[in-house]
Chain A
Amino acid sequence: MKVLDKSLMNRRTMLKASGICMALPWMESLAGSSSSQPPKRFCSIYFPYGVSLPNQDSEFSHWNWFPKGEGKNFTFNKSLEPLNKFRNQVTVLGGLCHPKVKRIGGHDSGDTFLTGEEMSLKANGLKNSISLDQFMAHTHRLGSQTRFSSLALSSDGGTGMPTRANTLSFSNTGQPIPSFNRPAIVFERLFGLSGESIDAQRKGLTQTGSHLDLLLDEAKSMHRKLAKTDQDKLDQYLTSVREIEQDVERSAQWLDVPRPKVNAEGLSLDADNETPEKLIYTMLDLIALAFQTDSTRFITYQLASMHGAISIANKFPSLLGFPKDAHGLAHGAGKGVGAENKGKWDLYQTRCFTYLLNRLSEMPEDNGSVLDNTCLLYGSSNSKTHNNTNYPLVLAGGKNMGYEHGQYLQFDNNTPLSNLFVTIQKKLGSKADSFADSNGEMKEVLAS
């Protein structure tokens, strides 16, 4: 294994091996049932500006992102070729989009990739709605059994601005959830040792808990004196404090469970925006490790946002020796050698995604691998730049949840992508029958 301590398998194997009989939380939840089921996970990886789509009759047609053929009879073109190794673990989806988002600006749709709703203008600015990962992790409490309910990652970090968010995750009030973009911080959060004794940590948490009461109290008394729009603004603070309260409770519950021992050697935790390849692969390693150690079951990762003027990640292709930045490649993709240039970048991104599939598939879990218990959605909210229809999408993994792969499915452009979200959330264990503008389920991706 590339980055894991040799002595370490996955967390449950490790515990078994050391002879410690410790109930893992997801086992607790199943107390009474005779067989323990492996965790079910979700991960979404997003890239901006769509893909290369040269005409089928042009000399560069092999750079068209979508496969040739359809159903089970399809062949990958060049951009998705690395997925061949996982042909039976992936489904390529064509034709889908968020219909409500069609009418907004071509570069404005990134925020809605996992929310599916057209953003609405409120007194405090543009407002989004809850994203799929948060809907499952929080609203349906599917993330309540791990140390962290969810994790948002990106290359730029923070929240960004409306229509150019630097995160795919939005809370139930539509607030962007700040994403992490520094591997060292992600690692520290997931696996770091605080160096303090458990008692000291517990004392700290109790202390924090009592501080939060005081902070809430103070905020509420300010809230009463504010004008309406300001009250809305302060609600964000109140919600955040309540979230910390829950985190504190959760951390207290997890104090006695030792953090998984993960060896940082081999991980380029110092990677940053100037070393994109290191950065992306380290983030993917961290995703794999977070899943393997069952530290969280919901992860989103935005490779870049659609804002040349704000996104630092826009320059990644140039740093990696591509002729233009991400925005520039997308704009030149329409014809000629531009289609090839963009196609090569699409291929690069596919390789990154495939790397993650590979990592997950090499992590044994029960009779299969972590990949078999993880549903991944890879794609973009543009087909080509400025165009909010026909999203390029790959659904992968999650065999144990009942997905049927090895297909290229094409839909008409009125099928809401949210239908897929309904199927994903149901397969992960939520009871909700709808999501955003869904009008049904997408049974085509399931084994019959």
Chain B
Amino acid sequence: MFKYYRIFLLALFFLHSIQGKEISSVSYQAQVLPILEKHCIQCHGPEKQKGDLRFDTLSIDFLKDRAAAETWHDASDQIKLGEMPPEEENPLSEEERKLITEWIDSNLEKALRDIKGEQSEAVIRRLNRTEYQYTMEDLLGFKMDYVDGLARDPLSPDGFLNNGKVLGMSSLQIEHYLKTARNAFQLILNEEEEPTVKVSEVKWNKGNIRGPSSKLYVGKSDHRLGRVNYWHGNFQQPPKSGRFTIRIKARSEKNPGYPSPILEGSYGFFVSGLTLNIQGSLPEVEIDSNETKTYEISSYAKLFPMTLANVPDDKINGVLTFRNSLDDGNPLPKQLEKITETKDKKGKIKKKKTNYYPEDPNFSKIIIESVEFVANDYSSWPSKIHQQIILPEEDLNNERTAKSVISRFLTKAWRKPVDSETSDKWFQHFKKISRDENSSIYALRETLATSLASTNFIYLSELKPNESKPSKLSTHELAARLSYFIWSSMPDVELRALADEDKLHDPKVLAAQVQRMMNDRKVNRFAEEFSKQWLDLGGVDRVAVNPRYHKNFDNRLKPYMQAESLEFFKEIFRKDESITKIIDADFTMLNARLAKHYGLEGPKSQRFERTSLQGTNRVGGILGHASIHLSGSDGAESHPIRRAVWVRDRLLHDPPKPPPPDVPGIEESVKDFEKLSLREQLEFHRKKESCNDCHRTLDPWGIALEEYSAVGLKRGKTTVHKKPITSDTILPGNHPVDGVEELQNFILLHRKDQFAHAICSKVLIYALGRSLTLEDEILVNELKNEFVKNRFRLSGLLKNIVLSETFRWH
């Protein structure tokens, strides 16, 4: 990555202690330069430029030369963390250290205060995939997959998905917005005539499932669903549109103390004469009672595959399949053979071999008694979601009414007041289509769909009256910034009302809103989105586990590994526990399968539950999670550098510099290099001076995690070369550690403040949707001090960020 992309933001421990002081009394010429000459210039001067740095020519004008200011900042941090000068060189005396860091820090602070407000980093940003999905759901009150086919969003240099600079726009995206909104409105805004309800019995079919989906099912078609077997049925003339409900009469058969079985269904069609079932999945239902009950699943026909081919309706059959998706982590039973004897007509005994799966008496089962399919099942007509857009008493054919329907929708969708000129323009558009096509409901669908491809909807726009001067966000802009931060979606009714009343900048009102929002379920979206991006949990998907070295690895574990870390963060966040538990905790979040993988006693289903680690051999905290071990591997062997980069970047917010272009490969100069373990290779690496500059302070962070294999299990030997594990290493500043527990202790003892600073930076980056600049350092340090005082509670951090001027102004 390009160097100018990086912003060096390490812990600044000093700003508060010296606030208000005048610029340093330390003289560069008389005091600082001699120290540089004595300790630094040798490696960072005319002869050598280790790390691409030289101090003899580095500008000391912090105000004019920002790049130099950032380099000085970095230098100060490294000196304070004891990383520079390196161990083998003469250390700075206490006085020298003080002089040089005070000179850097005070000049820096002066410069920061002088330039504050001069530059604005924020740019308008478009909704990313997740925000678009949630906004559409919340706005329309209708759940469907709004992002199917929409390209993945780009990651920012800091690893986040909501960075305005990086999020681009293309014609394919706008086409997607338009098409998706059109599809949604076709389902939401109903025609005038109410369709008739039609109930069909779904007949159980004892035949096997055919076609590609059969792979997903084990066993035979049955009414009794355990670890294996499925229920398979069909009915005639599946609807091509409209809302439907599937009614299932079923009961569970579960023993006390065992989890409820989970019914997983899929719905679609098959064409008589062909062998292909084409289906989409339905939402899961927990069958929670041993008494027979009716369970209902509703959805829309258009959300499921439907044949486009020219097949007569009577040849198309609806098809439903169900199975029990309860996962207690145990393997499927092995198929057995039994021989049954039957007598034929002549009384001759015939032996017949049949295959069967033995039943596990403790595994909770589902017994399906009957299934009904109800087409055109609306609890009211027009549907409720229709009535949220067009109120029951409103008549679209009345122009004034139509106009107010449109203007009401635009105001809500665009998250701001819409002036009458604009809403009139959209009304005229509606009127024209309505006239041309002679359908007001069609015209409304088209008009509203278009408004959801408009810049006003797609971009979080913050209009700035004066480019160079900071100004307050409008209350509606603030409401939007706030709700996208905490809910990944648009403001709700209450936030909109407060914005309308212009009350949102009042700190008391704002603080109360943050509190209210954090009590809402939608706050889970923050927990999920932030933790996924901060901890880079997507890394798990980018590594394929190599079956040669990890025999029988079950790929179902990969999403569970991600879920462990995500649920772990969510648990800490929702219970408002100290975020230092990310580093070390006495619990983790597990489900049955992952617990089995770790060799632990745990939950009995696929649901994640808080599980104590006391008395087990697993360490708590994120460094004990398989997600991190697997992302930091090549699928076969652990990859200490990847792990080290992750720790430095994600936990300490101190990413190492990328390797320079054209670095010579170490492997070319060492005999039999490829036969060495990665760790041994790294040792050679560090012996080479050009590599050592960077790897000296990098590798140890990953080596300490060597006791974990690629798939997150403890091991005594390396996976590929079967050599004994060594996880003892020396962290920068000459701190020896051996293994993950000592690494955790080291961070909590020596780097707790840096960790706090890192969290504050990461949350702020996410909240603002942009990278931080040196100017933000003042705020980050204030946030950090409060955060530490507040015993590392995220709730307080979120509130302080929202209340800060940086968040409320631009």
- Given the known inter-chain contacts A163-B1, A222-B456, A335-B674, please indicate yes or no for A233 contacting B153, CB distance below 8 A: no
Interface centre among B151, B461, B668 (most CB of A within 10 A): B151
A226 adjacent to B667 (CB under 8 Å): no
Contacts of A163 in B (CB 8 A): 1-2
Chain A residue with Cβ nearest B421: A221
A365 interface residue, CB < 8 Å from B?
A: no
What distance in Å separates the Cβ of B339 from its nearest Cβ neighbour in chain A? 40
Q: How far is the CA of A312 from the CA of B152 in the complex (A)?
A: 12
A332 adjacent to B662 (CB under 8 Å): no
A240 adjacent to B543 (CB under 8 Å): no
Chain A residue with Cβ nearest B547: A321
Interface centre among B1, B422, B455 (most CB of A within 10 A): B455
Contacts of B1 in A (CB 8 A): 105, 108, 163
B634 adjacent to A318 (CB under 8 Å): yes
B123 adjacent to A247 (CB under 8 Å): no
Contacts of B667 in A (CB 8 A): 331-332, 334-336, 338
B662 adjacent to A210 (CB under 8 Å): no
B459 interface residue, CB < 8 Å from A?
A: yes
Contacts of B124 in A (CB 8 A): 226, 230, 233-234
The residue that B674 contacts in the complex, of A158, A218, A233, A332, with Cβ under 8 A, is A332
Contacts of A185 in B (CB 8 A): 149
B665 interface residue, CB < 8 Å from A?
A: yes
Q: How far is the CA of A234 from the CA of B463 in the complex (A)?
A: 12
A40 interface residue, CB < 8 Å from B?
A: no
B453 interface residue, CB < 8 Å from A?
A: yes
Name B4-37 residues within 8 Å CB distance of A: 4-5
Q: How far is the CA of A324 from the CA of B637 in the complex (A)?
A: 9
B739 interface residue, CB < 8 Å from A?
A: no
B461 adjacent to A222 (CB under 8 Å): yes
User: How would residues 618 to 647 of chain B score, 1 for a CB under 8 Å from any chain A CB and 0 otherwise?
Assistant: 000000000000000011100000100000
Contacts of B662 in A (CB 8 A): 106, 386-388
Contacts of B454 in A (CB 8 A): 214-215, 218-219
A20 interface residue, CB < 8 Å from B?
A: no
Q: How far is the CA of A208 from the CA of B177 in the complex (A)?
A: 12
The residue that B467 contacts in the complex, of A227, A236, A308, with Cβ under 8 A, is A227
The residue that B165 contacts in the complex, of A102, A125, A324, with Cβ under 8 A, is A125
B308 interface residue, CB < 8 Å from A?
A: yes
What distance in Å separates the Cβ of A154 from its nearest Cβ neighbour in chain B? 10
Q: How far is the CA of A236 from the CA of B171 in the complex (A)?
A: 9
The residue that B156 contacts in the complex, of A161, A229, A316, A318, with Cβ under 8 A, is A161
A398 interface residue, CB < 8 Å from B?
A: no
User: How would residues 662 to 689 of chain B score, 1 for a CB under 8 Å from any chain A CB and 0 otherwise?
Assistant: 1101011000111100000000000000
What distance in Å separates the Cβ of B241 from its nearest Cβ neighbour in chain A? 13
Q: How far is the CA of A319 from the CA of B237 in the complex (A)?
A: 42
Contacts of A215 in B (CB 8 A): 174, 450, 453-455
B663 adjacent to A241 (CB under 8 Å): no
What distance in Å separates the Cβ of A194 from its nearest Cβ neighbour in chain B? 8
B318 interface residue, CB < 8 Å from A?
A: no
Interface of B is mostly: loop
A175 adjacent to B546 (CB under 8 Å): no
B429 interface residue, CB < 8 Å from A?
A: yes
A103 interface residue, CB < 8 Å from B?
A: yes
Contacts of B174 in A (CB 8 A): 215, 237, 240-241, 244
A177 interface residue, CB < 8 Å from B?
A: yes
A156 adjacent to B152 (CB under 8 Å): yes
A21 interface residue, CB < 8 Å from B?
A: no
Q: How far is the CA of A8 from the CA of B337 in the complex (A)?
A: 49
B742 interface residue, CB < 8 Å from A?
A: no
What distance in Å separates the Cβ of B587 from its nearest Cβ neighbour in chain A? 29
Contacts of A226 in B (CB 8 A): 124, 461, 463-464
A325 adjacent to B674 (CB under 8 Å): no
B673 adjacent to A309 (CB under 8 Å): no
User: How would residues 134 to 158 of chain B score, 1 for a CB under 8 Å from any chain A CB and 0 otherwise?
Assistant: 0000000000000001011111110
Name B94-152 residues within 8 Å CB distance of A: 120, 123-124, 149, 151-152
- Given the known inter-chain contacts A161-B156, A314-B542, please indicate yes or no for A211 contacting B450, CB distance below 8 A: yes
B660 interface residue, CB < 8 Å from A?
A: yes
Chain B residue with Cβ nearest A194: B308
Q: How far is the CA of A142 from the CA of B453 in the complex (A)?
A: 30
B446 adjacent to A211 (CB under 8 Å): yes
Q: How far is the CA of A203 from the CA of B543 in the complex (A)?
A: 47
Contacts of B663 in A (CB 8 A): 106, 386
Contacts of A176 in B (CB 8 A): 168, 170
What distance in Å separates the Cβ of A204 from its nearest Cβ neighbour in chain B? 9
- Given the known inter-chain contacts A234-B455, A240-B169, A336-B672, please indicate yes or no for A105 contacting B2, CB distance below 8 A: yes
The residue that B658 contacts in the complex, of A102, A105, A125, A236, with Cβ under 8 A, is A105
A193 interface residue, CB < 8 Å from B?
A: yes
Q: How far is the CA of A230 from the CA of B55 in the complex (A)?
A: 37
B661 interface residue, CB < 8 Å from A?
A: yes
Q: How many A-B residue pairs have CB under 8 A?
A: 205
- Given the known inter-chain contacts A158-B152, A324-B634, A328-B634, please indicate yes or no for A217 contacting B425, CB distance below 8 A: yes
A195 interface residue, CB < 8 Å from B?
A: yes
The residue that B455 contacts in the complex, of A179, A237, A312, A316, with Cβ under 8 A, is A237
Q: How far is the CA of A316 from the CA of B446 in the complex (A)?
A: 43
Q: How far is the CA of A176 from the CA of B308 in the complex (A)?
A: 34
Q: How far is the CA of A309 from the CA of B632 in the complex (A)?
A: 10
B210 interface residue, CB < 8 Å from A?
A: no
Contacts of B803 in A (CB 8 A): none
A244 adjacent to B175 (CB under 8 Å): yes
A39 interface residue, CB < 8 Å from B?
A: no
Contacts of A141 in B (CB 8 A): none
Name A306-361 residues within 8 Å CB distance of B: 308-312, 314-316, 318-319, 321, 323-325, 328, 331-332, 334-338
Contacts of B152 in A (CB 8 A): 156-158, 166
B568 interface residue, CB < 8 Å from A?
A: no
User: How would residues 421 to 458 of chain B score, 1 for a CB under 8 Å from any chain A CB and 0 otherwise?
Assistant: 01001100100110001000000001000100111101
B178 interface residue, CB < 8 Å from A?
A: yes
User: How would residues 182 to 221 of chain A score, 1 for a CB under 8 Å from any chain B CB and 0 otherwise?
Assistant: 1001000000010100000001000110110011011100
User: How would residues 269 to 287 of chain A score, 1 for a CB under 8 Å from any chain B CB and 0 otherwise?
Assistant: 0100000000000000000
Q: How far is the CA of A285 from the CA of B64 in the complex (A)?
A: 56
Q: How far is the CA of A241 from the CA of B170 in the complex (A)?
A: 8
A225 interface residue, CB < 8 Å from B?
A: yes
Chain B residue with Cβ nearest A211: B450
What distance in Å separates the Cβ of A167 from its nearest Cβ neighbour in chain B? 9
Q: How far is the CA of A104 from the CA of B660 in the complex (A)?
A: 9
- Given the known inter-chain contacts A218-B454, A388-B661, please indicate yes or no for A336 contacting B673, CB distance below 8 A: yes
Contacts of B459 in A (CB 8 A): 222, 234, 237
B173 interface residue, CB < 8 Å from A?
A: yes
B149 adjacent to A324 (CB under 8 Å): no
30 CB contacts below 8 A, A to B, read A104-B661, A106-B663, A121-B2, A125-B165, A157-B151, A158-B151, A161-B157, A175-B168, A175-B170, A176-B168, A178-B151, A208-B178, A211-B446, A214-B450, A233-B123, A234-B455, A236-B168, A240-B170, A240-B173, A244-B175, A247-B171, A314-B542, A318-B543, A321-B548, A334-B667, A334-B673, A338-B673, A386-B663, A386-B665, A388-B661
Q: Kindly list 6 other residue pairs between chains A and B, CB separation below 8 angstroms, not including A211-B429, A338-B667.
A: A159-B154, A240-B170, A240-B171, A312-B542, A318-B546, A335-B673
8 closest A-B pairs (Cβ-Cβ)? A158-B151, A315-B544, A334-B667, A243-B171, A318-B544, A334-B665, A161-B154, A236-B169
